[in-house]
Amino acid sequence: AKAKSRGSITFYEPEMDQQIRDRRVLHQELSVAIKHGELSLYFQPQASSGHTVDSSEIIGFEALARWHNPVRGFVPPSDFIPLAEESGMIVEMGEWILREACREAASWPKPLQVAVNLSPAQFVHGDLVALVHSILLETGLAPGRLELEITEGVLIEDFDRGVALLRRLKALGVRVSMDDFGSGYSSLSYLQAFPFDKIKIDRAFVMNLGRNPQSAAIIRAVIGLGHGMNMSIVAEGVETQEQLGFLAEQGCDSVQGYLLGKPLPIDKYDGVVGRAHDD
Ligand code: C2E
Ligand code: CA
Ligand code: CA
Ligand code: CA
């Protein structure tokens, strides 16, 4: 069966299979998710890399979207983000996520960093720079506390426009990091062309530390390369003390992963952000 769904136009065929029908329903449910208050943000700590958990200090959080549908229950972002991208809904959703993350961070007694993921569609549709600017003004968040995570590949489609966009974002005072470095099309020229402040080493390399000697070599090389280009390095998916120790020893600037803390509703981190708990 052939059926295509692009934006709001859907082509039906009688033999359209169940999977595609399910998708259509999911699209519709997702389109009202924001209105119904079903979306929320979880926050995962990012810490300076000490050699142990105790000597690693939390310096900020990455905001991660969560969708809780009353019927379906919890839908993971790996399912609904691609869906939102495909339907164009990600533009509206991304705006909600950015505003919510900035509003939340602005309310913390401690001036910690907040990192927000951007989707490719947010670069193409609407004026992203104007949006970031107005959300910063609206929420009162200091621009230096906001970091935008961008996956590699997004900017390459229109190279000149990509470079200009990053420059304009940085001119607002926010930082930009290249997410999932090493997982896709990353090349050295890419790093050289785009003025990123930070490289996020993909979880896959961290996961393979200890199993695969090449991972250690790659991580070492990326840290050296990034530092040589004045970028800071964060490693994601840090789950063990061994991984943390290795990364700290190699001079990785910061770390994120279950070892340091899972993504949770922000009230679970009240103490960290400097708010009194009420339990
Ligand atoms: P990502 O940006 O690479 O986010 C990191 C993912 O790794 C998160 O998955 C996080 O929960 C998970 N993670 C963190 N530490 C560990 C660890 O130690 N071990 C393991 N196994 N996993 C760890 P999550 O929250 O399921 O998000 C998946 C992806 O969905 C994100 O990958 C990102 O690409 C996308 N996503 C999530 N929230 C947003 C959002 O607000 N906007 C956009 N555009 N994309 C989002
Ligand atoms: Ca990310
Ligand atoms: Ca990532
Ligand atoms: Ca990822």
Cβ proximity of 259 and 54 under 8 Å: no
User: Which atom of ligand 1 lies nearest, measured to the CA of 118?
Assistant: 44
C-alpha pair distances (Å), 146 with each of 103, 173, 179, 257: 11, 8, 15, 20
Question: What percent of the residues of the chain are helix, what percent strand, and what percent coil, each to the nearest 5?
Answer: 45, 20, 35
User: Ligand 1 centre and the CA of 77: distance in Å?
Assistant: 7
Beta carbon of 18 within 6 Å of any ligand 1 atom? no
User: Ligand 2 centre and the CA of 23: distance in Å?
Assistant: 25
Q: Whose CA is nearest to atom 10 of ligand 1?
A: 263
Give me the residues near ligand 4 (ion), CB cutoff below 5 Å.
Answer: 180
Q: Whose CA is nearest to atom 37 of ligand 1?
A: 64
Mutate to test the pocket of ligand 1, among 93, 117, 122, 151 (most ligand atoms within 8 A of CB): 117
Ligand having the closest approach to the CA of 42: 1
User: Ligand 3 centre and the CA of 203: distance in Å?
Assistant: 7
Q: Which residues contact 232 (CB under 8 A, 6 or more apart)?
A: 197, 198, 199, 226, 253, 254
Token code pair at residue 136: 């910063």
Look at residue 9 in the predicted model and tell me its pLDDT.
59
* Nearest by Cα to 45 from 257, 278, 211, 206: 257
Look at residue 151 in the predicted model and tell me its pLDDT.
86
DSSP 51: S
Buried b (16+ CB within 10 A) or exposed e, 25-36: ebbebbbebbee
User: Which atom of ligand 1 lies nearest, measured to the CA of 258?
Assistant: 18
Look at residue 26 in the predicted model and tell me its pLDDT.
84
* Nearest by Cα to 57 from 49, 69, 66: 49
Q: Which residues pair with 45 in a beta bridge?
A: 61
**Cα torsion angle, 46, 47, 52, 53, sign:** negative
Kind of pairing between the strands at 39-48 and 232-235: unpaired
Helices H / strands E in the chain, number of each: 11, 11
Q: Give pTM, 2 decimals.
A: 0.92
- Rounded to whole angstroms, how far apart are CA atoms 43 and 188? 31
Q: Whose CA is nearest to atom 24 of ligand 1?
A: 77
**Angle, helices 77-87/90-106, rounded to nearest 10 degrees:** 130
* Nearest by Cα to 233 from 212, 210, 206: 206
- Rounded to whole angstroms, how far apart are CA atoms 22 and 82? 15
Q: Whose CA is nearest to atom 12 of ligand 1?
A: 237
Q: How confident is the chain (279 residues) per 10-residue block, as mean pLDDT?
A: 51 67 84 92 97 96 96 93 90 96 98 96 89 98 97 78 93 96 77 92 94 92 95 98 97 98 98 86
